[in-house]
Amino acid sequence: TDKSTVTLGVSGAGSIVGLKSIVMKGGRLAVWVRSTRTPGTTTLTASCSGLTQASVELTSLAVSELPPLSAGR
């Protein structure tokens, strides 16, 4: 429904930025996924009571000459 709570999960070379449980607005939602510095596949999964679970695979590539990460990231 348009105001259902969706639970998000991620596996692989990435992480969700922000909340992992989001209330849909108008039947839609948006999420940010942060890749790691390691190339690979990230799988984002969304599930909600009464709806079919869905997943999408995102592929990240290596980028040369990136500055070092700050502490804690």
CA gap 33, 65 in Å, rounded: 22
Alpha carbon of residue 60 to chain centroid: 13
pLDDT digits over 4-34, tens only? 899 999 999 899 999 999 988 777 888 999 9
pTM of the model: 0.79
CA gap 52, 48 in Å, rounded: 7
